Structure 1
């Protein structure tokens, strides 16, 4: 007998996690019935009666799995039928419902939870700390390890999209052996112009003007827009300021308090050693001015970001 109950609710906005939850649920059902039929329904295009039709006992036997996507955008008919289904769950079928969040469909959600549906969370993965945990988890599931600084490098190289991050983890796991170190990540992804933007910020905050300008010009010639470079500069300086103001404490405790990853705390602490509050404030003001200019307030965005980088370096050295 399958361990999957008749009703499964996957709740949360992170689509990568929701899709994985659907596939893992289907895999569990197929362990018991390899020939289980899967029917997929879209909430916004739902036709009345479809749930009852597909969850009714079949004359030919076998298991039917109905996957309902976008319950939060579902029609009124769908939401009413889910409430009715929760009151009388199917005997020979499974219904997997995906709800991205929000208030729409709350009555249906409450009915599913009251009916003891299995609830699988798909929470948003937004902060660098959460993304670092995601990367580490990807390697742990594959019984592999990735070094903390390699996690940092991968986040900076691949960017914000969780789907791209998952694909990068899968590639590194498939193509390498042993512990993935930062050199491996650099070899695979270090050439991306997105990654260069973070290296520009690292060099500028460290006061290395020649390296910061070299990296900046390389990134801009490779097609990187000045706007995200300025955004990274601002983010790096803000992190230094926040960590410096937070005072002492372990990296783990400060990471939790500030909503950052432990490696970000360590990096910001190293950088903060060369700054004081006055010079850090002037650097942040310079980046704010550059942000205005690269977003249409000035005539030359490239000159604006170069000037901001040189100002940061000068303040760091002073």
Structure 2
């Protein structure tokens, strides 16, 4: 009996221009999609600055798609008596009301001249998909600015590098690595730190400058602890740990940073590809691969596995599994620095 092959639906491609959030340009409809709020805010602010530079009389209105009153969209986009340009910022499209959805889809057929409507959809739900599909199909003469999540170390590194490149400010690679490590868990704070250095520091930015500004950050201290322990410098690692704790470091991110370095070592171990090829395949930077390979000197699969298990145990302990989180950290450092079971 003959069988009919099942077809997988082709992925719909966007028919509208895709713009970088670092270089937004106005259009009748601007869809800002994706979960990364820092980038979305930059894109929206960039559009406002662009339009205001063209005409200082720009009118700016904010509309909530989830708490929407009928007729609002047409009201705020309608030409005024003196014909000022209008910027309408619509938030919460991923949880929009039925009324907003109906009116927004209808608006695509007849966008108001002189109005720029910015629609913010985080992608947290499929709500508003009909509207997004219509925009991406070209209705309304729109553009899209994608703001995907920035989670990987390499993505954060690229983000920070872009901050300085956009500002035409030079920062030493080592300084950039230190800065990214200092704000490994908070992109908003990383962005603010980059802007502070850009505005406050004359000339090029070196590692000493970053250390002076942000050397007390928990994550930076954590990587110092991790580096000395992985290098087998037991005494230095304990001193670094006590310094971090006395500076107010939280044991949880300390363990997380140490575990992150161990996991990177495990991912790199045993591969003979070039740094560039391996970094591309693993979603890392070349320097991360090179650093992990240097860290792996003197380590075996067995000792690395033991250290990773110790980090997993410490993670449980500092999150409430033990009454003494400091002892849990010291035990972890001992296992890593000595490459031996605790007490062995």
Is this contact kept in 1: 2:218–2:250, CA < 8 A? Answer: no
Equivalent pair of 2:153/2:184 in contact (CA under 8 Å): no
Q: How many residues align?
A: 315
2:177 matches 1:155 = no
Q: Aligned residue for 1:13? A: 35
Cα separation, 2, equivalents of 1:4 and 1:158 = 32
> 2:276, 2:286 within 8 Å by CA — same for their partners in 1?
yes
Verify the 8 A CA contact 2:29 2:143 in the aligned structure 1. Answer: yes
Do structure 1's residue 40 and structure 2's residue 62 form an aligned pair?
A: yes
Confirm or deny that 1:183 pairs with 2:205.
Answer: no
- TM-score normalized with structure 2 length: 0.87
Q: Displacement, 1:262?
A: 2.3
Q: Give the whole-Å Cα distance in 2 for the aligned partners of 1:295 and 1:163.
A: 25
Residue of structure 1 in register with 2:291 after alignment: 267
Q: Does 1:120 align with 2:145?
A: yes
1:6-155 aligned at under 5 Å gives the runs 6-101=28-123, 102-113=125-136, 114-115=138-139, 116-155=141-180
Distance 1:147 1:237 in 2: 25
Post-superposition offset of 1:169:
0.8
Write out aligned runs for 1:153-232 (5 A): 153-232=178-257
2:255–2:314 Cα contact (<8 Å) kept: yes
User: CA offset at residue 263 of structure 1?
Assistant: 2.2
Question: Does the 8 Å CA contact 1:152/1:263 hold for their aligned counterparts?
Answer: no
Deviation at 1:232, TM superposition (A): 1.7
> Which structure has more helix as a fraction of its residues?
1
Q: Which runs of 5+ in 2 are unaligned?
A: 1-24
- How far apart are residue 313 of structure 1 and its match? 0.6
In 1, distance between residues paired with 2:322 and 2:27? 60
Aligned counterpart, 2:329: 305
> Residue 283 of structure 1 aligns with which residue?
307
- SS of 1:61's equivalent in the other structure is coil
Give the secondary-structure state (helix, strand or coil) at the position aligned to 1:39: strand
Aligned-residue Cα RMSD (Å) equals 1.9
* DSSP-derived class of the 1:58 partner: coil
Question: 1:66 and 1:197 mapped to 2: Cα distance?
Answer: 44
Q: Is the 8 A contact 2:61 2:88 kept in 1?
A: yes
| Moved segments of 4+, more than 3 Å | none
Q: CA–CA distance in 2 between the matches of 1:105 and 1:280?
A: 48
TM (norm. structure 1) is 0.93
Secondary structure of the corresponding residue to residue 236 of structure 2: helix
